[in-house]
Structure 1
Amino acid sequence: MFTLMKNATVYSPDYLGKKDILFCFDKIALIEDSIELTALKDVNVIDCSEYIVLPGFIDLHVHIAGGGGEGGYITRTASAETNDILKNGITTVVGILGADAVTRNVASLYAKAKQLEMEGLSTYIFTGAYQIPVVTLTGSIQSDMVFVDKVIGVGEICLGDSRSFEPTFEELSRIAAQTRNGALISGKAGLVHFHMGDDEKDMDYLFRLIKETHIPKNQFLPTHMNRTHKLFEKAILYLEEGGYIDLTAGFIPNERDSDCVASYDAILQLIDIGADISRVTMSSDAYGSVPVFDDKGNVISSETVSTKILFEEIRIAIKQLGVPIEKAISLITKNSAEVLKIYNKKGSIEVGKDADCVICDKDLNIIKVFAMGKEY
C-alpha cells in the first residue's frame, strides 16, 4: 500500500535535489525533504541515499504485437513481453502496427495492449498502419478515437519508403482532419504519426501540413528522423518551423549503414544549435523489423531490437557526451507525455501523478522499476 523512498536524488526530470517520495497505492502521495511515517504500518521503505530516481520512461513507438514480414513469414518478429519492457525502465508504451496490417490488425493490437496493461504496463495504441486508406477497428478514424479507449492517434503512416502506399497530400490532409475531429470529441492527443524512410523529399508533405492546413503542429509526429544525415537536416528545419520530431534509438553508424545519425549524437547536435528540445521525443521501434533491401528491393536480412536500447542511448548521451540528465531524460518522459497529452498523469515525478519511477545507481544502471506503485 505504501512505499517510501528516502534521501533520493530526484530528477522530475527537472533536478529536485534530495527528497523523500511516498507512494500510496498507484499514486505519488508526497514529495518532501523528509517524510516520517511512524504511525503507519506495512510501509516498504527504500534507502535511496546512493540512488537517483527518474520518472518512468515512455516509449511511444513499440510494435507490441510484433512486426516484420517484409521478407516473408520467416521474417515475422515476436510480440512484446511485459517483463522485457519493465526491466528497461519503460512503464508506458504506445503500440503500433507497421508494414503488415493484413496478418495483424488493430483488433489484435488492442488485445495485446490490454494484456500488457493487465501485466503492469500503461498502454495506448495508434489505429492504422503503413497503408492508405487507414485501417481501423470501428470503421472510421473518428470512431476509433472516440469509442476505443486506448486509441490516441493514427499511425505509423509510411512516407519516403519503398513500402509506402504513396498517399497524396490531399489524402494526408483528410486523415489529419479526421484525427483532429476525433481528438476534439474524445479529448485525446490525436497524433498523426509518420514513418519516415530514407527519401527525405517526402518531408515536404509535413512542411505543407503545418503551413497549409489548420491542424495544430503538435498533432504531427514524424519518426526515424535520424535515419540519414539529410533527413536529420530536414528535421532541424522542421523544428525551426515549430514542428515536433521523434528520434529512433538503434541507428548506429557502421560499415553497412554509415549515413545514419546516432540518437545521442542527434541530441547533442540539437542542444548545441539551440533547438527547442521540448518538441523532441525518442522511441525504440522495438519488436519491429529492421529489413535490409538490395538494389532490386529484395530483403537480404532482417533484425529486430529490444526496448533496452532506449535508455542505453540516453545513458550514452549523459555519461559519454555530457548532455545534462534533465534534458536527456525529458525526451523519454516529459516531452513524450506532453505530445501524447498524458502529462496530467505521466512523464514527471509530481504529487498526484501515477507512481511510475526508475531507481538507478550513480552510473545510471537500473536498480528497481516501479509501475503504478508496484515494484518490478
Structure 2
Amino acid sequence: MLTLLTHARLFAPEPLGLCQLLISDRRIAAIAPMGTPLASGPAITEIDLQGRRVIPGLVDPLVHFIGGGGEGGFGQRTPELGLAEARASGVTTLVGALGTDAVTRTPANLLGKARELNAGGLSAYCYTGSYQLPPATLTGTLREDILFVPEVLGVGEVAISDHRGSQPTTAELIRLTAEARTAGLLAGKAGLVFIHTGDAGTHLEPLRAVARESALPLAQFYPTHINRTRALFEDGLRFAREGGRIDFTTSTTPELLADGEIPAAAAVARALEARIEPSRLSLSSDANASLPRFDAQGRFLGLEPGRLGSLFETLGECIEEHGIAPELAIAMASQHAAEALGLTHKGRLEAGRDADLLVLDETRWRLDEVWALGRRIHRRD
C-alpha cells in the first residue's frame, strides 16, 4: 500500500518547508520538497494536504490506560482509556503503567490493554512493576518481563519521595535498576526505570544516591511529575544539569495549580530560560491516572482523572502562549520521549521511521487528522 501526501508544511520536528511524504505500508519511504519527482502511478493513493502543518505523532511515556486511583476507596477508581479517545488525541505511541494499585489492577490487565490499543492501530507499550517494591510482574521476575515480553520497555512507575510508595532503600533501588539495565541490554531495549516523584522534601535525592553508590548512571532513570511543586521543579533542573532526564506532567487541575504546581508549558519555558539542554526535557499526560490531593497530614481530599488530550493542548500552549520555537516544543512531545524509551522508529518524520503523523489546521492549533502506522485513524468532523 503506497500513499503520497503532498503539500505538507512539515516539522520533522525541525521545519522542512512544503514537502511530500511517500508512505509504504507502515513506514515513511521517502520525504522530498514539493517539485521534486518522488512517485506516481495508479498504485499510489495521492492526498493533497493543502499546505497544512504536519508534525510527528506524539509519544506519551506515561498513560494509565487501564485506569488508576483508589486512594479514596473503590468509589474513586478512574476509568480505562477508550480506544476512540486515544485515536483522536494526537498520541500515536503510548506507554502504560500501574500506579498505587497493583492488586486489583495487574500487569496482565495492562498488557492486555496495550494489545487492544495496538489492534486499534496505535503503538502501545508498558512498564512492568508499579509504585511499590518488589515489583509486580508477569513472569515472576522483572528481568524476564523485559526480556521476553515485546511490549515491556522497563519498570515503573516506581514511587520515590511519596507516602504512597514502599519507601525503597538505596540498596533496593540499586538492585532494581541494575536488573532493569541488564535486562534491557540483553533484550535490546532501554531497560529504564520510570520514576513517580512525590512532593516529599527528598525530591530526586534517592536517584542521586544510586548514582553515587553504584556504577549506574542517572540517565537510567526517567523521573516524571517534576512540575508538581516549585521546589521539585528546581531540584529537577539541577538533576538535568547533572546528566538526567526530567518529564513534566500535562494533566492538572485548578486545585493542584492553586497548591503550587507549575503548568507544564510554563515549566518547559522556564527550563529553557534556565539553559537546560532541550533533549533532557519531555512531556507526558499521566492520562487516566488519579490526580489526588492530600492535606498536610496525608489525608485524602479528592481526585480528578488525567486526560490524554492534555499533551496536544500543552504543546500548543508552549508555542502560542510562551513563544517556544515549534521545533523545540514538538520535540518535547515526540522525539525526546522516543529517545528515552529506546524507540528508534518513533518520534521523528524521516525515511525508515514509522508513519505516525498529525495533520494540523493551517492557522489554528487544532488537530485535523491523525495517522498511525501509515493509516489515517482519525479525522476531525
- In the superposition, the TM-score normalised over structure 1's length comes to 0.96
Aligned to 1:140: 141
Alpha-carbon deviation of 1:41? 1.9
Confirm or deny that 1:314 pairs with 2:315: yes
Q: Which moved more, 1:201-210 or 1:273-282?
A: 201-210
Aligned to 1:349: 349
Superposed counterparts of 1:179-218, under 5 Å? 179-218=180-219
SS at match of 1:41: coil
CA contact (8 A) 1:247 1:283 kept: yes
Alpha-carbon deviation of 1:293? 2.1
CA contact (8 A) 2:158 2:194 kept: yes
CA contact (8 A) 1:23 1:373 kept: yes
The one-letter amino acid paired with 1:2 is L
Give, in whole Å, the separation in 2 of the partners of 1:313 and 1:224: 15
Confirm or deny that 1:117 pairs with 2:118: yes
The one-letter amino acid paired with 1:22 is L
Confirm or deny that 1:358 pairs with 2:361: no
Alpha-carbon deviation of 1:38? 7.2
> Over residues 323-351 of structure 1, what are the superposed CA-to-partner deviations in whole Å (9 max), with x where a residue is unaligned?
000001101111011001112x1000000
Superposed counterparts of 1:1-376, under 5 Å? 1-34=1-34, 39-41=40-42, 43-251=44-252, 257-343=258-344, 345-361=345-361, 362-376=363-377
CA contact (8 A) 1:5 1:47 kept: yes
The one-letter amino acid paired with 1:208 is A
SS at match of 1:44: strand
CA contact (8 A) 1:27 1:355 kept: yes
The one-letter amino acid paired with 1:248 is T
Structure 1 residues 329, 296: CA separation in 2 closer, same or farther (over 3 Å shift)? same
RMSD: 1.6
Give, in whole Å, the separation in 1 of the partners of 2:50 and 2:27: 22
CA contact (8 A) 2:7 2:49 kept: yes
The one-letter amino acid paired with 2:249 is T
Give, in whole Å, the separation in 2 of the partners of 1:325 and 1:252: 26
Structure 1 residues 5, 166: CA separation in 2 closer, same or farther (over 3 Å shift)? same
Give, in whole Å, the separation in 2 of the partners of 1:365 and 1:37: 29
Gaps in structure 1 of 5+ consecutive residues: none
Gaps in structure 2 of 5+ consecutive residues: none
The one-letter amino acid paired with 1:16 is L
Give, in whole Å, the separation in 2 of the partners of 1:170 and 1:304: 34
Give, in whole Å, the separation in 1 of the partners of 2:271 and 2:256: 25
Give, in whole Å, the separation in 1 of the partners of 2:231 and 2:253: 16
Q: Which moved more, 1:303-312 or 1:26-35?
A: 26-35
Structure 1 residues 283, 256: CA separation in 2 closer, same or farther (over 3 Å shift)? closer
CA contact (8 A) 2:355 2:371 kept: yes
CA contact (8 A) 2:25 2:374 kept: yes
Give, in whole Å, the separation in 2 of the partners of 1:38 and 1:192: 44
Structure 1 residues 359, 302: CA separation in 2 closer, same or farther (over 3 Å shift)? same
Give, in whole Å, the separation in 2 of the partners of 1:52 and 1:219: 34
Structure 1 residues 38, 283: CA separation in 2 closer, same or farther (over 3 Å shift)? closer
- In the superposition, the TM-score normalised over structure 2's length comes to 0.95
How many aligned residue pairs are there?
375
Identity percentage over the alignment?
38
CA contact (8 A) 1:223 1:245 kept: yes
Alpha-carbon deviation of 1:315? 0.5
The one-letter amino acid paired with 2:208 is F
